[in-house]
Structure 1
Amino acid sequence: MLFRSRRIEGLFGGLLDAASYQDIADLIGNQDAAEAEDLDYKAAHYTPDDKGREELAKDVTALANHIGGVLVLGMAEVACVPSKPRDVDLDDRHLRHMQQVLSSNTAPPVRYEILRKENPRSPGQGFLLLTVPRSPYGPHAITVPPTKPSRDVLRYPRRSGSKTDWLSEATVATAYRERFMQAGARDHRLAEVERDLVVAVRRRVTPNLLVVITPESPGDMTINQEAFARHRSELLQARPYLGTLDTPFGAVHVGPRRLIVDQPEYHGKGVYMQLHRDGSGAAAVPLTCHTEFDHKIQTVQADELVHGLLSALAFLAQHARDRAGAAGTVLLKASLVDELPSHPSSPPIARERTQYMLGIQAPGGPLTRGTLYCPCAQASVTALLDDLADTGGPLVQAASLLADELVQAYGLPEAHPLTAAGEIRLSGWSAKLNPAITTWAAANHVTCLE
């Protein structure tokens, strides 16, 4: 899901994509569900004329320029409180119209998701939810011609309570400056966190997967004697890999504005993580390699790579959200290295480098070993923190995007163990990992394909 809000989910009885028609109808008369800065009701579809297009673009953009929220179409309100269902048509024609209006009349285009909630007593009709996350790319403007006289070509709406305000020129200029400064700051922070990890494990000379995340809205994890005891107890009970009962972490230390989690029994070759106070995090996950052709070519299994990626993303996201209190989107970066000195951020090490190249081996399905070899492959995406921390289909989608970019550096079109739709391809998993991923998928309602 694009939009997550604990307040809205509390009103709707859970995740918005799982909410039923009745869950929304039950909001009638609930003062807590009154229109607010993150919630709006419309009794009918937006009209297809100029005024309707302007209103649709304005309402969606206003949410994206503020904290995000939900537009509920098909609900009447009295004094801002939901009062009566007014079921709207859920046909594709109306959805295509809204998609066309929003894609061509917002700049930059606003991200949103449409959810249909059909009335079981009236098929084809019900509530239509437009969910809009807070945008890190704001301020967004609406470009549809105004229906009232205006000198502005680009207009910037923002939600304010249950109404919409228009941003002044000074506010827009300030927001643009903050957008670019924050984007640069996040990129710098990601590079800083990655560099700290690489320096810490720089002497590893076998293949490793490095995963780094940085939240859009940083948190602030408390580190004192009492909090450290609580964090340490939690982390020592945690398992590094999803769906397995492998050896847990064996040591938790305090570092500069971070916690350091390690498996010392592996003598510097186990899973190693740095969990930063602001919610950023970094993980080094060792991978088993297979040597061929007189030790000059080494390969790693695609399913082991994907399993490590899924596990690290979930672990780091849960730290960011639940321990540090971060929110919003996160920048993700993954690197696959033959040995740590191959990473661009690695400091020089005075020793003779091992002369081999790294490849990817798929354990099943139509893919075979990649035709290209590279010492360091890297990939990056942006995702919603809650989607990763909730360890469901959206986590698989994000991991699929990263994994595809990594394996394409080796000549493979995609990472066969996952699909871009957030599914697990069981044919891409070896007998060793198949039980673990199947168990995890079933517990997290992730679809498995043969």
Structure 2
Amino acid sequence: MAILRSRRLATVLGAPVDHLSAANIEAMVDNRIPEAFDLDFKGTLYGNSDKDRRDLCGDVASLANASGGLIVLGVEEDDHAVASSAPGVELSDDERNRMLQILASGIAPLPAVEIHSVPSTADPSRGWWLVAVPRSSGAPHAVIVNDGFRFPIRHGTTTRYLSEPEVAAEYRRRDMRSSNLAVRLAEVLKDALANVDRNHGAWVVVGLVPEHAGALEISQKRLDEMRQNYAGRELFDVGRAGAHFSWVRTGRGKYTVGDGPHARADSPLPHYGYAELHTDGTGSYAIELWDLADRLRQRDREGEEPVEDQIVPDEIIALALLNGLRRLGAHARDTTGAAGAANLLAQLVPSPGRTVQIGHTRRFGFAESRSGNGVSTSAIAETAAALDDIAEPGAALVATAARLLDELGNSFGIPEMGQLSLDGEIRVRYWQDAGPLVTWAEQHGVVTTDTAIAGT
């Protein structure tokens, strides 16, 4: 699914951007399609001189800073900026990679961009490159010129550069978008925690909002597919959760997934796991954390109110983040077609009226706290990552989960949690049973290590 979705372009060109064919492109000439604020024609490939490289970066950045749009390489225009011929250009993986490398080194920050080819039916080695650029929430994007920056913006069929006051205004708009994003993430987590049974244990929840929203319909067919994917599925793909989802339902603009109701439970709300999967790619994934001290409490103080701190397992927090990120990333990218960066927020909350600590049972199976202090409200962590990095298993997914994991631990006086490293490695000595993690790591090229955290 293309990151550039434009009803106007789909109407003008005869198909959505990600479905354009050789016939659609050749028809641009017959139909005398003109360039526009969101459509740019180039008769040849971008060259490799400094000027040519700047032109590529400027064309992409100008679209990202404006309304987004499509650059078609291999279509020539006449003096009136109307498509006049479609001779095509050479197609190769090397050329695509060259353009991506030029963009990565020449634009700051790099906007979302897709480059894909449309082969000619007469000669598949030739055809057209489509450079698709959505409007960017991270604007303004600068083109690096010598040691300075210039900020291009598409204006009609031409490009101009933003003035200093305009650049300042764009940065203020970016800050406002970031603030709105933080509010959205907080609301997503709040909604998730309002729909689970919090009376018996602490919960950890991770939320995701994509940079470029996706689109997913609410329909009976899609609901059936979601049920097939989630109903009966274990809460964790990596590691052991001991519980599974049992239902999928629809909500306003989202699908919800949970367990229960359980026969002996005093609440019909999910008791072990809950997810909200929004149609725009936003989502949340919540897991209950069992209380390691509960057995001792029941044995030693039968009948008394459980007033002691809850102690939750560090390993399950790590697994919840690892699995939650993976599933949310896959939903956003693969199911809804969202793209760009994933903005992430994690929260660990105790049961109402309780205080929670982080602990483990790696020493002889006895519950032991690692916390320098307890938390009675919530611990919060936030980061960002490319959707591609968390939608698939790998070191980048592990590193992203590690950032959230360590920041949650900081609220409890724990400098580093240990299970996952910021380099994307699995530290086996911080797992009671590392076997499933080691197997998973071997399958996906993730390094495992027995290295201890310095100073511990």
TM-score, normalised by the number of residues in structure 2 = 0.63
Q: Number of residues paired by the alignment?
A: 346
Paired residue for 2:183? 188
Contact 2:239 2:319 in 1 (8 A): no
Deviations 1:380-411 (A, max 9, x none): 11111121111211111110110010111112
Query: How far apart are 1:272 and its partner, in Å?
Result: 0.9
Distance 1:82 1:449 in 2: 43
Distance 1:257 1:140, change over 3 A: closer
Paired residue for 2:138? 137
Distance 1:41 1:362 in 2: 60
SS in 2 for 1:289: coil
Consecutive unaligned residues in structure 2, runs of 5 or more: 5-24, 26-39, 69-86, 96-100, 112-132, 302-306, 451-456
1:262 pairs, out of 247, 258, 263, with 258
Consecutive unaligned residues in structure 1, runs of 5 or more: 8-30, 47-51, 69-77, 87-94, 113-131, 147-152, 342-352
2:236 pairs, out of 213, 228, 241, with 241
Query: How far apart are 1:440 and its partner, in Å?
Result: 2.0
Taking the TM superposition and a 5 Å limit, the aligned residue runs for 1:174-323 are 176=171, 179-201=174-196, 203-236=198-231, 238-244=233-239, 246-264=242-260, 267=265, 268-291=270-293, 296-323=308-335
Deviations 1:142-184 (A, max 9, x none): 57569xxxxxx85213699xx9944455986885565344333
Structure 1 stretch displaced more, 238-247 or 389-398: 238-247
Distance 2:94 2:141 in 1: 31
Look at both structures and tell me which one has the larger radius of gyration over its CA atoms.
2
Paired residue for 1:429? 431
Taking the TM superposition and a 5 Å limit, the aligned residue runs for 1:148-187 are 155-157=150-152, 165-169=159-163, 176=171, 179-187=174-182
SS in 2 for 1:330: strand
Paired residue for 1:416? 418
Distance 1:227 1:373, change over 3 A: same
Paired residue for 2:448? 448
Distance 1:363 1:302, change over 3 A: farther
Distance 1:290 1:184 in 2: 37
Deviations 1:101-147 (A, max 9, x none): 97xxx7xx5359xxxxxxxxxxxxxxxxxxx999643213357569x
Paired residue for 1:439? 439
Distance 1:240 1:372, change over 3 A: same
Query: How far apart are 1:320 and its partner, in Å?
Result: 1.5
Give the residue type in structure 2 aligned to 1:391: P
1:328 aligns with 2:340: yes
Distance 1:173 1:252, change over 3 A: same
Distance 1:256 1:397, change over 3 A: same
Contact 1:157 1:164 in 2 (8 A): no
Distance 1:221 1:184 in 2: 25
Contact 1:242 1:436 in 2 (8 A): no
Query: How far apart are 1:420 and its partner, in Å?
Result: 0.6
Paired residue for 1:382? 384
Contact 1:361 1:369 in 2 (8 A): yes
Contact 1:242 1:307 in 2 (8 A): no
Distance 2:282 2:273 in 1: 17
Query: How far apart are 1:418 and its partner, in Å?
Result: 0.7
SS in 2 for 1:264: coil
SS in 1 for 2:231: helix
Query: How far apart are 1:185 and its partner, in Å?
Result: 3.1
Distance 1:231 1:299 in 2: 34
Distance 1:179 1:84, change over 3 A: closer
RMSD of equivalent CA atoms: 4.5
Query: How far apart are 1:335 and its partner, in Å?
Result: 0.8
